[in-house]
Amino acid sequence: MTRRSESAIRIVAIRPAPIGRIFAIIYGVFGLVAFLLFAIANVAYMTLPFGILAPFLHLNLNLNLGRSGNVLYNILLCVAAILSYALTGWLTGMTVAGCFNVAAKQIGGVDAKYFSVSQEQDTHKVNQ
């Protein structure tokens, strides 16, 4: 059994686009769940956010859309919920990544550790 080599690195910046995509997917799922809860609950309207939503930061525009018995309207409302939440997630993710980059630059980066498995894989191939 070989031992993994452990190395330390310093994260000084992250790319905002992948973080934005991850947040968009997560928030899009939340949008679908919000629509499903709206569909089974007895509430008069559904609120669709557009903007940045974070624990202590709400810079958004809310659209309140009412309930309807029209099937096409409800399908469009579901699509609108998923898209508005996904857009909000993307904006939030990009903002979070940008804030992280500014903070990391100010403090000189964040310590991180990773394990290298390349030596273990190379050793395993040689032994076969």
Looking at residue 61, its pLDDT comes to: 85
What residue ranges in 40-109 does DSSP mark as E strands?
45-54, 57-66
> Can you tell me the distance from the alpha carbon of 48 to that of 65, in angstroms, rounded to the nearest whole number?
8
pLDDT at 102 over 90: yes
Backbone angles phi, psi at 108, to 5 degrees: 90, 15
When pLDDT is cut at 50, 70 and 90, the band that residue 1 belongs to is: very low
- Length of the chain equals 128
* Residue-level pLDDT at 14: 94
Cα distance from N-terminal residue to C-terminal residue, the chain: 14
Quote the CA–CA distance of 111 and 124 in Å, as a whole number: 30
Tokens of 89: 């997630």
Separation of alpha carbons 128 and 112, rounded Å: 33
Mean pLDDT, residues 8-26 taken together: 93
> For the residues 98-119, what does the mean pLDDT come to?
83
